[in-house]
């Protein structure tokens, strides 16, 4: 049989194509199996996938494959997001490079460009997902702007509108002067900036030489001031309340009012009020019925309300006003100030609060059940702190501004007639619903991109239609997402699901960390420190990337993408590949034993099966609990340490035995059966994480007589075979485990001496073991052949207990035996005494530690009995070993 020494990662694409062709990822709504559903967080069609997607989707695919193997009808629903503003910005930029603007090509032409963009990037993303091995049901793939989702969006909008939960109103919105659109609070990033605070004073109207001093960080907004406010409790200004201040630039008198919003301790205790350009001032304005003067155009320049400043930019106006105030003797001073400035997260432009007529979703009532779901414990987060983020957001919920002044997105289904009536309908109405006027225009704005993704868990399944898919697969089982979009997305899916499906869209939320670069920074385009998953796949394969991303990692903490971790991961898969190769090479005359059949198993067989049994239990538990890092690490450790380093080595003498003796043959077959069984189970456990290589290995192990058989139609893939489960096989075997642990201890002891004495592996030594009792005698006698191989011995003699030790030998005391290595020429009495003394000291220290513990009344009284028992057993063992060491010391 000819199997290459290394796994060919280039087979991944071929294996994937095979799966896809066979329809293994298809989830059937008519199936009798229990459903298990995960919705992919639809990637934005803005660019290629990055490492964050790779992690996010790997977690999902592991869970999906695990559940599919467990016999669930598992649906991994794929799709993409149109990402309204993000994509539009990119396309605008791309057009600008050709000297084209949106208006040049018009709405229709522009949208055509966007659909072309979607074809290109949406397609790229899908191919990347496939390349990473994700087992999505591609037949069900959706896009947030496709027909079905668009219908769901309209349905939602109309229904919320009819309920009065969507309204249109003039409010202060976050306005991006560059993108010329409103954005939601969540899209505003606050960053502390070094800027200045300017101190001015306004004259008090009608009183010569009387002024009121205040400070502002935005002098240009003075043009829109409609009041001056002080604290009601501030005696300093009490006399001024009710009087008027005078704004010279605008020739405007504004009232001096008292409002509790003002903190008398801060600054001068005086705040200028600009209701049209500051959210707090807006509130104050509402309370005091102040006029709202909008001084800005959509592009951020001063409008006609700014009088002489009309047409100037924000920055120009600011300087000019400072100048003018100075000339008028009303400027006091400028101080440096570090304060938070809101910026648009997409373009970095300073956000301007602006009065606008926009569409809003009234959040108060929708938020209540969403909050209740969390506080009642129905909605769970994998870490409590993520739940707190969720709760905090809902506690401070504000109405959601959903209109965007963009073209790419779901156009708002509101139609206006010349008489000022609004008609909201899914299908463009022929006439105004109020006055019957047929001259209607549709609102030019589109909806916030999250409006559609909020519906993702059920709209993708066919809602508002009552489809079999919706019936079968909703609610989904778990949502896996990045920390960054808990409130953007998770919150909105929750209340949407509750509102329209009457049921939470999922009960478990897994929030994972961010993939950082090698020095702990976020990967970003601007830093140029991003790593393309496809580059890694090109070099190492998807299996390596997937395993590396989860192995040993705490799911909730950020992880650095450390390229040095790739090689060890690849090495592991190579190790697994070769372990399988070894097993296959030794199965040539194997004619099949099925699990549970009566096989002449030996102690090491029972040991490895016992370890495997525990591994399966633990890995299953870990996966159920979404602790992928633990699961992966345990499988890797088992395969490498227990299986390869110990079991395979121990079993070699049995495999290589040429004896035709019936016992020897039975023993060989038992070894073959165990090797195969254990490896098949291990490969299955690993399959959700590294699906490609395990598929190949499984198929080979299934049919060892002809492992190179091409994937036949009748052959099932790994994912459809069952998740390993040894319940009822009685493989749990503590006695075998204890025995093998002793063998391992003996082997390590001998190896340590060999290394110390620099005995090369090629030099075979003889070993004499004098066991402490009959149990140990049986154990070591049975393990003679394995011991010989593992310790590089030509002969292993197990003498009777208490028999005379050989002369001139180095002695090693282990649990249950003293081992003698007759290495006459190498024995140096002085050094031996030193070594044994060191050993003695170590044992004495161990004993002292245990004794102090056991003689501690508090410990004996309060520690769990099992722990005390363990300590006593250890004490016994150490005491016996110490006695042996002392005997040896006397002998030298």
Partner RNA sequence: GGUCGGUUAACUCAGUUGGUAGAGUGCCACCUUGACGUGGUGGAAGUCGCGAGUUCGAGUCUCUCACCGACCACCA
Binding to RNA, residues 297-356 (CB under 7 A): 339-340
Identity of the residue, 755 or 825, whose beta carbon is nearer to RNA in the bound complex: 755
Task: Identify the residue among 46, 382, 559, 777 touching RNA (CB under 7 A).
Answer: 559
Nearest-angstrom CA–CA distance, 590 and 680: 15
Q: Are strands 142-143 and 79-80 parallel, antiparallel or unpaired?
A: parallel
Identity of the residue, 483 or 702, whose beta carbon is nearer to RNA in the bound complex: 483
Residues pairing with 403 in the sheet: 447
Answer yes or no: are the C-beta atoms of 83 and 380 closer than 8 Å.
no
In whole angstroms, the minimum distance from the beta carbon of 450 to RNA comes to 14
**Residues between 469 and 498 that touch RNA (CB under 7 A):** 483-484
| Range in contact with RNA (rule: CB under 7 A) among 164-172, 326-334, 557-565, 587-595 | 557-565
In whole angstroms, the minimum distance from the beta carbon of 289 to RNA comes to 20
Identity of the residue, 198 or 473, whose beta carbon is nearer to RNA in the bound complex: 198
Task: Identify the residue among 261, 416, 593, 711 touching RNA (CB under 7 A).
Answer: 261
Identity of the residue, 473 or 878, whose beta carbon is nearer to RNA in the bound complex: 878
Identity of the residue, 115 or 656, whose beta carbon is nearer to RNA in the bound complex: 656
| Residue closest to 609 by CA, chosen among 699, 680, 663, 668 | 680
In whole angstroms, the minimum distance from the beta carbon of 601 to RNA comes to 20
Task: Identify the residue among 578, 620, 721, 766 touching RNA (CB under 7 A).
Answer: 578
Residue keyed to tokens 């799966």 = 19
Count of C-beta atoms within a 10 Å radius of residue 698:
23
Phi–psi pair at 344, nearest 5 degrees? -70, 125
By CB under 7 A, is residue 265 in contact with RNA? yes
Identity of the residue, 116 or 315, whose beta carbon is nearer to RNA in the bound complex: 315
Residues pairing with 173 in the sheet: 354
**Residues between 724 and 783 that touch RNA (CB under 7 A):** 748, 751-752, 754-756, 758, 760-762
Which tokens is 739 given? Answer: 């025995």
Identity of the residue, 267 or 806, whose beta carbon is nearer to RNA in the bound complex: 267
Identity of the residue, 421 or 840, whose beta carbon is nearer to RNA in the bound complex: 840
By CB under 7 A, is residue 271 in contact with RNA? yes
By CB under 7 A, is residue 867 in contact with RNA? yes
| Range in contact with RNA (rule: CB under 7 A) among 323-331, 413-421, 607-615, 621-629 | 621-629
Residues pairing with 193 in the sheet: 339
Residue 214's H or E segment, with its range, is strand 211-216
Identity of the residue, 368 or 522, whose beta carbon is nearer to RNA in the bound complex: 522
In whole angstroms, the minimum distance from the beta carbon of 260 to RNA comes to 10
Nearest-angstrom CA–CA distance, 862 and 857: 8
Nearest-angstrom CA–CA distance, 472 and 466: 11
Identity of the residue, 162 or 557, whose beta carbon is nearer to RNA in the bound complex: 557
In whole angstroms, the minimum distance from the beta carbon of 751 to RNA comes to 4
In whole angstroms, the minimum distance from the beta carbon of 277 to RNA comes to 10
| Range in contact with RNA (rule: CB under 7 A) among 69-77, 497-505, 689-697, 862-870 | 862-870
Which tokens is 304 given? Answer: 């006609």
Residue keyed to tokens 């005698």 = 777
Identity of the residue, 578 or 782, whose beta carbon is nearer to RNA in the bound complex: 578
* x-or-dash string of contact with RNA, 625-644, rule CB under 7 A: --x-xx--x------x---x
Identity of the residue, 54 or 114, whose beta carbon is nearer to RNA in the bound complex: 54
By CB under 7 A, is residue 649 in contact with RNA? yes
Phi–psi pair at 142, nearest 5 degrees? -130, 165
| Range in contact with RNA (rule: CB under 7 A) among 425-433, 623-631, 732-740, 797-805 | 623-631
Answer yes or no: are the C-beta atoms of 541 and 692 closer than 8 Å.
yes
Which tokens is 230 given? Answer: 């002080």
Residues pairing with 254 in the sheet: 245
| Residue closest to 79 by CA, chosen among 149, 162, 181 | 149
Task: Identify the residue among 570, 684, 742, 884 touching RNA (CB under 7 A).
Answer: 570
**Residues between 511 and 550 that touch RNA (CB under 7 A):** 516, 520, 522
In whole angstroms, the minimum distance from the beta carbon of 803 to RNA comes to 27
| Range in contact with RNA (rule: CB under 7 A) among 32-40, 312-320, 406-414, 859-867 | 859-867
Which tokens is 368 given? Answer: 């209540």
**Residues between 181 and 220 that touch RNA (CB under 7 A):** 185-186, 189-190, 192, 197, 214-218
Considering just the CA atoms, what is the radius of gyration of the chain in Å? 37
Task: Identify the residue among 124, 150, 280, 297 touching RNA (CB under 7 A).
Answer: 280
In whole angstroms, the minimum distance from the beta carbon of 88 to RNA comes to 22
In whole angstroms, the minimum distance from the beta carbon of 837 to RNA comes to 16
| Residue closest to 131 by CA, chosen among 54, 27, 21 | 54
**Residues between 164 and 183 that touch RNA (CB under 7 A):** none
Total chain residues near RNA (CB under 7 A): 91
Identity of the residue, 231 or 777, whose beta carbon is nearer to RNA in the bound complex: 231
By CB under 7 A, is residue 43 in contact with RNA? no
Answer yes or no: are the C-beta atoms of 772 and 786 closer than 8 Å.
no
Angle in degrees, CA 149, 460, 455, rounded to 5: 65
| Range in contact with RNA (rule: CB under 7 A) among 65-73, 110-118, 258-266, 670-678 | 258-266
Answer yes or no: are the C-beta atoms of 332 and 339 closer than 8 Å.
no
Which tokens is 863 given? Answer: 């520690």
Nearest-angstrom CA–CA distance, 186 and 776: 69
By CB under 7 A, is residue 875 in contact with RNA? no
**Residues between 5 and 24 that touch RNA (CB under 7 A):** 5-6
Burial of 22 (0-12, 13-18, 19+ CB in 10 A): middle
| Residue closest to 892 by CA, chosen among 805, 817, 814 | 805
Identity of the residue, 146 or 234, whose beta carbon is nearer to RNA in the bound complex: 234
In whole angstroms, the minimum distance from the beta carbon of 167 to RNA comes to 21
Burial of 101 (0-12, 13-18, 19+ CB in 10 A): exposed
| Range in contact with RNA (rule: CB under 7 A) among 41-49, 69-77, 110-118, 577-585 | 577-585
In whole angstroms, the minimum distance from the beta carbon of 694 to RNA comes to 16
Answer yes or no: are the C-beta atoms of 647 and 604 closer than 8 Å.
yes
Which tokens is 152 given? Answer: 């769901």
**Residues between 386 and 425 that touch RNA (CB under 7 A):** 388-389, 392, 396
What's the distance, CA 454 to chain centroid? 20
**Residues between 92 and 131 that touch RNA (CB under 7 A):** none
Identity of the residue, 702 or 842, whose beta carbon is nearer to RNA in the bound complex: 842
Task: Identify the residue among 369, 433, 552, 822 touching RNA (CB under 7 A).
Answer: 552
**Residues between 784 and 813 that touch RNA (CB under 7 A):** none
In whole angstroms, the minimum distance from the beta carbon of 311 to RNA comes to 24
Please state, in angstroms and as integers, the Cα–Cα distance from residue 44 to each residue in 90, 117, 482, 532, 755, following that order.
Answer: 12, 12, 14, 16, 58
By CB under 7 A, is residue 614 in contact with RNA? no
Nearest-angstrom CA–CA distance, 269 and 190: 25
Task: Identify the residue among 571, 659, 795, 803 touching RNA (CB under 7 A).
Answer: 571
DSSP state of 806: P
| Range in contact with RNA (rule: CB under 7 A) among 59-67, 369-377, 818-826, 853-861 | 853-861
DSSP letter for each residue of 224-292? G--EEEE-TT-TTTTTTTTSEEEETTTTEEEEEEE-TTS-TTSTTSEEEE-TTT-HHHHHHHHHHT---
| Residue 227 CB contacts under 8 Å (≥ 6 apart), including other chains | 254, 255, 256, 257, 272, 273, 284, 285, 288, 290
In whole angstroms, the minimum distance from the beta carbon of 92 to RNA comes to 25
Residue 622's H or E segment, with its range, is helix 603-624
């Amino acid at each position: 049989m000819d199997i290459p020494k290394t796994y060919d990662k280039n087979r991944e694409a071929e294996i994937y194509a095979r799966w896809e062709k066979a329809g293994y990822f298809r989830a059937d709504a008519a199936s009798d199996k229990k459903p298990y559903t995960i919705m992919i967080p639809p990637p934005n069609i803005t660019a290629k996938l990055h490492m964050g997607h790779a992690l996010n989707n790997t977690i999902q695919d592991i869970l999906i494959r695990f559940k599919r193997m467990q016999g669930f009808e598992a649906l991994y629903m794929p799709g993409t997001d149109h990402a309204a503003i993000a994509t539009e910005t990119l396309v605008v930029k791309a057009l600008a490079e050709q000297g084209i603007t949106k208006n040049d090509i018009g709405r229709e032409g522009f949208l055509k460009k966007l659909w072309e963009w979607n074809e290109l990037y949406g397609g790229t993303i899908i191919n990347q997902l496939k390349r990473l091995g994700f087992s999505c049901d591609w037949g069900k793939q959706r896009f947030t702007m496709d027909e079905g989702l668009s219908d769901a969006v309209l349905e939602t909008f109309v229904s919320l509108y009819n309920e009065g939960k969507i309204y249109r109103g003039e409010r202060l919105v976050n306005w991006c002067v560059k993108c010329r659109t409103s954005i939601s609070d969540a899209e505003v990033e606050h960053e502390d900036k070094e800027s200045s605070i300017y101190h001015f004073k306004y004259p008090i109207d009608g009183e010569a030489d009387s002024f009121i001093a205040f400070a502002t960080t935005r002098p240009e907004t003075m043009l829109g001031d409609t009041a001056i406010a002080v604290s009601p409790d501030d005696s300093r200004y009490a006399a001024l309340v009710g009087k008027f201040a005078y704004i010279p630039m605008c020739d405007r008198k504004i009232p001096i009012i008292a409002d509790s919003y003002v903190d008398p301790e801060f600054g001068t205790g005086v705040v200028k009020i600009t209701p049209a350009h500051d959210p707090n001032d807006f509130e104050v304005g509402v309370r005091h019925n102040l006029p709202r003067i909008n001084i800005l155009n959509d592009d951020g320049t001063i409008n006609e309300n700014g009088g002489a400043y009309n047409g100037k930019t924000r920055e120009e106006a600011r300087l000019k006003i400072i100048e003018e105030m100075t000339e008028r003797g009303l400027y006091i001073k400028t101080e440096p100030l570090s304060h938070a400035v809101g910026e648009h997260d997409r373009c970095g432009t300073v956000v301007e609060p602006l009065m606008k007529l926009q569409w809003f979703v009234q959040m108060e009532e929708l938020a209540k059940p969403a909050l209740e779901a969390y506080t009642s414990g129905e909605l769970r987060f994998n870490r409590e702190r993520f739940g707190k983020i969720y709760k905090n957001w809902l506690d401070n919920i504000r109405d959601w501004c959903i209109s965007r002044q963009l073209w790419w997105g779901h156009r708002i289904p509101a139609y206006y007639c010349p008489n000022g009536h609004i008609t909201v309908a899914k299908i463009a109405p022929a006439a105004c619903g109020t006055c019957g006027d047929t001259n209607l225009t549709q609102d030019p704005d589109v909806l916030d991109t999250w409006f559609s993704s909020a519906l993702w868990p059920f709209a993708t399944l066919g809602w508002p239609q009552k489809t079999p898919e919706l019936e079968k697969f909703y609610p989904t089982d778990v949502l896996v997402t990045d920390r960054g979009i808990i409130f953007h997305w998770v919150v909105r899916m929750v209340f949407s699901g509750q509102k329209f499906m009457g049921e939470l869209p999922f009960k478990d939320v897994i929030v994972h960390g961010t993939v950082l670069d090698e020095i702990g920074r976020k990967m970003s385009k601007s830093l140029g420190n991003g790593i393309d998953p496809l580059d890694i796949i090109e070099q190492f394969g998807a299996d390596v990337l997937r395993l590396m991303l989860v192995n040993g990692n705490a799911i909730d903490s950020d992880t650095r993408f450390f390229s040095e971790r790739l090689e060890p991961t690849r090495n592991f898969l190579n190790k697994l590949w070769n372990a399988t190769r070894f097993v296959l090479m030794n199965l040539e005359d194997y004619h099949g034993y099925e699990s549970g059949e009566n096989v002449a198993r030996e102690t090491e067989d029972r040991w490895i099966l016992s370890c495997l049994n525990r591994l399966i239990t633990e890995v299953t538990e870990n996966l159920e609990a979404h602790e992928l890092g633990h699961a992966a690490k345990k499988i890797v450790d088992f395969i490498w340490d227990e299986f390869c380093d110990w079991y395979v080595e121990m079993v070699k003498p049995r495999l290589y035995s040429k004896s035709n003796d019936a016992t020897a043959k039975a023993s060989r077959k038992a070894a073959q059966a165990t090797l195969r069984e254990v490896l098949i189970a291990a490969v299955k456990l690993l399959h959700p994480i590294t699906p490609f290589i395990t598929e190949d290995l499984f198929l080979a192990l299934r049919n060892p007589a002809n492992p190179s058989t091409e994937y036949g139609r009748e052959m099932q893939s790994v994912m459809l075979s069952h998740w390993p489960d040894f319940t009822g096989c009685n493989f749990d075997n503590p006695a075998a485990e204890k025995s093998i642990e002793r063998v391992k201890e003996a082997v390590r002891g001998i190896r340590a001496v060999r290394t110390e004495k620099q005995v090369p592996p090629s030099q075979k030594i003889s070993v004499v073991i004098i066991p402490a009792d009959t149990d140990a005698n049986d154990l070591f006698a049975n393990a003679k052949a394995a011991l010989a191989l593992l310790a590089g011995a030509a002969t292993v003699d197990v003498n009777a207990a208490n028999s005379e030790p050989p002369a001139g030998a180095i002695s090693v005391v282990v649990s249950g035996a003293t081992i003698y290595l007759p290495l006459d020429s190498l024995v140096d009495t002085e050094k031996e005494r030193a070594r044994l003394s060191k050993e003695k000291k170590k044992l004495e220290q161990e004993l002292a530690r245990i004794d102090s513990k056991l003689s501690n009344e508090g410990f004996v009284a309060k520690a769990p009995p099992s722990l005390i028992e363990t300590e006593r057993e250890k004490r016994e063992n150490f005491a016996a070993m110490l006695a042996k060491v002392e005997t040896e010391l006397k002998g030298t």
